[in-house]
Structure 1
Amino acid sequence: MQPQSSTPDQPETSGTRFSNWLKEGREIVPGLIIAVVIAIAARYISEHQGGPVMLYALLIGMAVHSIYEDGTCQAGLSFAAKKVLRLGVVLLGLRVSFSQILALGWQTLALVILSVLAMLLIGLIVARLLGRSASFGLLTGGAVGICGASAALAISSVLPNSKENEQNTLFTVIAVTAFSTLAMIFYPSIGRMFGLDDVQLGIFFGATIHDVAQVIGAGFAVSDGAGEIATVVKLMRVMMLLPVIFIISFWSAKWLHNKGDTSLTTQEANPPVPYFAFGFAALVLVNSLDWIPQTPRLILVDASTWCLVIAISALGVMTTLKTLVSLGHQHLLVILAETIILLAGIILAIKYLL
C-alpha cells in the first residue's frame, strides 16, 4: 500500500514546485518594473542634463519610498537590489583585460594593489575611531579604494544582511558620488599645482577618483594621453574588486562577529560563497583573450551599467532621506578622511616612488 501512495505524489511535487516558481515570479515583477522605470528616468536625466546617473537613481528612488510600504513591491525591489546587482558586477569583468594592466608596468600595478589594501585597513581604523561599525569601514574603504558606487554595491552584497547595511550602502553611494564629482572638477588643478605631467596626472586621476565616469571626465579634460592612462589605471582598481570581495566574504563576517559588530545580529557569522565573483573573473579572462567581438562586448558593458543603476534605484526606494540623515556626520567624516588620505598618499607615491 505504501508504494501505491508514493507514486501519485511525484507529479504533485513537481507541479507544486512549478506553481511556487510562478508565484515567486509574479511577486518579483511589480517591484522590478518600478526599479527599471526609475533607472530609465535617471539615465535619461543624466544623458540630457548631465550629472551622475547613480545619484539621480537614488534620489528618484527615495522620492517614491511610499511605494515600498505596499507589500506587493518588496519582493521585486529586493530581487533588483541583490540579484540584478550581482549580474551587474559579473558584467563589470568585460571592462578589464590583463594587457591593459601590464601595459603600465609593475610599479603602477603595485601602487594600485597597495593603495586598495591600505584603504581597506584605513577604512576600518577611521571608522572605529569615529565610532562607526567595522563593516561600514570596510564598505567605505572599498568604495574609496576601488571604484566608488559600483564597489560599494558589490561589497554590500557580501556583507551581512541588515537594515544598517542598506543604510550604510546608500549613504556611501551618495557620498562617493558627490566626492567623485568634486574631484573631477578640482583634481586637475591640484595635480598641476604639484607639477605632475600628463602621464602622472593620468595615474593620479585613475588611482584617486572614485567613480569610472569621473575619472574619464577628469583625464580627457586634460589630454587624450592623460585620459587613456587614467582609464587603464582605474580599470586596474576595478580588477581589485574580485580579491576584495573574497577577502570580505570569507574573512570579515567572523572577524566582525568576534569584534561584536552590531550589523551581524541578523545573520550568521558564516557568509555565503560569492559565486558571482567567479563570473567576474571569468569575464576578465574572456575579455583578455578577445573572445567576444567589440560590438557585443560594448552592449554587455552597457548592460552592466543598467544593472547597477536598477539595483541602486531599488535600494533608493527601500530607504528614506530621514534614515540617512540620522546616521550622523561621523559617517561623512569617515569617507572624507579616506578620500584625503588616498589623495595625499598617491601624490607622494607619484612624486617620490614612481
Structure 2
Amino acid sequence: MNDLAVKCKNVWPGLGIATITGMAALFLSEHYNAPAMLFALLLGMAVSFLYQNDTPCSCGIDFTASTLLRAGVVLLGLRIALGDLAILGWQTALMLAFAIFTTIVLGVFLAKSLGLQKRFGALTGGSVAICGASAALAISTILPKGKNHERDTLLTVIGVTAMSTIAMIVYPILSAQLGMNDTEAGIFLGGTIHDVAQVVGAGYSVSDSAGNMATLTKLVRVAMLMPVVLIMMLVIKRFYRADAKAGEGDIPKMPMFLVGFILLMLLNSFVSLPTVVVETGTQVSRFFLVVSITAIGMKSNLGKLAEVGVLPIVMIITETLWIALLILGYLFLI
C-alpha cells in the first residue's frame, strides 16, 4: 500500500497539469472552432519545461502520455459496431480497406525513398488512412521505441491534424464543384478526411444526409484500426528483430488495450447499450486522448522537431492526396 501511495503521489502533479492544460485546449477548441488536438499539442509544447530536468511533474506526464492514452484508445471501441459495415455495403467497405492498405504501403515506400525510417512511414500512412491523431497515438504504442519515437509521433499528429483541418474546409467545396449527391459527398468526406471531428464538421456543412453518411463511413475506417495494428505487430515481430538486437527498440508484445478495444467493440455490436453509456464513453475517450496528447507535447523538444525538416510534411501531403484520389476514382467508377 505504501508503494501504491508513493506512486500516486508521484503521478498526481504531472497528471494534474496535463489535465488542466488539456481542459484549456478543449475550451479554446469549442470557442474558436479549431481542432482540440492541435491546441493540446501547442499548449503542451508551450509548457514543456515542466518535463525537462526531472521535475516533480515528469512521472505524471509519462503516465498520462502512456497509460491514459491507452485508456482513451480502448474507449474508442464504443464508437463502433460491426453492423456499420453491413449498412455501408461491402463494395464501399472493401474499397476503404484497399485505400487504407495502399496508403500505409505508400507511407513506408516514401519513408524508405526519402531516407527516413520505415516505421515512421507506417505511422504517417496509418494515421492518414484511418483516423488521424487517434490512429497515430494507437499505432505509436506498438512501434519499436527508438530514440526518435516521441518526436515522430508528435510530427505525425501535427501533420495529420493540420491536413485534416484544411480538408474539412476544402473538400465540401470540391464535392459541390464535382456535382456529388449527398451519399457520394458523405462517402468522399468520411473516406478521406483524417480526424472524426473534422469529418462530422465537413459532412454536416453539406447536409444532414451527407453528415450521417460521412460519419458512418468514418466509423468503418475507425473499425479497421485494430486489424491494422495487429497486422503491424506481426510485421514488426517478423522484420524488426535485428533492429531490436541492435538497440533500435524493443519488439512490442500484445498490448492489453487492443483486447479492451475489441471487447468494447463487440459489446457495442451485440448488446444494445444505453445511449448515455455510449455518449459518455465517447466523450471520456476524447478527453483522455486530448490530455494524453497534451502530455506528449510537454515531452517534446522543439529543437529535434526542427532537425527533421519538411520531408514528413511532404509524406503526409502525398498520402492525403493518394487516398483522396482513390476514393474519388471509386465514386466515379460506380
Q: Answer whether TM exceeds 0.5 for this pair.
A: yes
Alignment partner of 1:158: what SS? Answer: coil
- State the 1:249 CA deviation: 2.1
- State the 1:29 CA deviation: 1.2
Residue of structure 2 aligned with 1:32, choices 4, 9, 15: 15
Contact 2:73/2:138, CA 8 A, preserved across alignment: yes
**Which moved further from structure 2: 243-252 or 58-67?**
243-252
TM-score under structure 1 length normalisation = 0.90
Contact 1:90/1:276, CA 8 A, preserved across alignment: yes
Structure 2 unaligned regions, length at least 5: none
Is structure 2 residue 166 aligned with structure 1 residue 166? no
Contact 2:29/2:39, CA 8 A, preserved across alignment: yes
Is structure 2 residue 31 aligned with structure 1 residue 48? yes
Contact 2:150/2:296, CA 8 A, preserved across alignment: yes
Between the aligned partners of 2:150 and 2:183, the Cα distance in structure 1 is: 39
Where does residue 12 of structure 1 map in the other structure? none
- State the 1:285 CA deviation: 1.3
Is structure 2 residue 255 aligned with structure 1 residue 274? yes
Where does residue 274 of structure 2 map in the other structure? 293
Where does residue 11 of structure 1 map in the other structure? none
TM-score under structure 2 length normalisation = 0.96
Between the aligned partners of 2:134 and 2:154, the Cα distance in structure 1 is: 12
Contact 1:85/1:307, CA 8 A, preserved across alignment: yes
The number of equivalent residue pairs is 333
Mapping 1:300-315, distance limit 5 Å: 300-315=281-296
Deviation string, structure 1 residues 135-184 (Cα, Å, up to 9, x no partner)? 10010010000000000000001111234110011111111111011001
- State the 1:322 CA deviation: 2.6
Is structure 2 residue 323 aligned with structure 1 residue 342? yes
Contact 2:147/2:248, CA 8 A, preserved across alignment: no
Contact 2:144/2:244, CA 8 A, preserved across alignment: no
Could you tell me the percent identity over the aligned residues? 41
Contact 1:88/1:308, CA 8 A, preserved across alignment: yes
**Which moved further from structure 2: 59-68 or 72-81?**
72-81
- State the 1:278 CA deviation: 1.2
Contact 2:142/2:252, CA 8 A, preserved across alignment: yes
Where does residue 90 of structure 1 map in the other structure? 74
Between the aligned partners of 1:253 and 1:164, the Cα distance in structure 2 is: 20
Structure 2 counterpart of 1:293, one-letter code: P
Where does residue 175 of structure 2 map in the other structure? 191
Contact 1:135/1:261, CA 8 A, preserved across alignment: no
Where does residue 143 of structure 1 map in the other structure? 127
Residue of structure 2 aligned with 1:206, choices 167, 177, 190: 190
Residue of structure 2 aligned with 1:265, choices 244, 247, 270: 247
- State the 1:253 CA deviation: 4.7
- State the 1:293 CA deviation: 0.8
Return closer, same or farther for 1:19/1:149 CA change in 2, 3 Å cut-off.
same
Structure 2 counterpart of 1:313, one-letter code: T
Between the aligned partners of 1:131 and 1:332, the Cα distance in structure 2 is: 14
- State the 1:24 CA deviation: 1.8
Deviation string, structure 1 residues 88-142 (Cα, Å, up to 9, x no partner)? 0010011111222210110111011111111111110111111111010010010
Between the aligned partners of 1:247 and 1:343, the Cα distance in structure 2 is: 24
The alignment yields a C-alpha RMSD, in angstroms, of 1.6
Residue of structure 2 aligned with 1:102, choices 78, 86, 111: 86
Return closer, same or farther for 1:77/1:253 CA change in 2, 3 Å cut-off.
farther
Between the aligned partners of 2:330 and 2:244, the Cα distance in structure 1 is: 34
Structure 1 counterpart of 2:2, one-letter code: S
Alignment partner of 2:292: what SS? Answer: helix
Structure 2 counterpart of 1:340, one-letter code: L
Structure 1 unaligned regions, length at least 5: 1-17
Contact 1:35/1:310, CA 8 A, preserved across alignment: yes
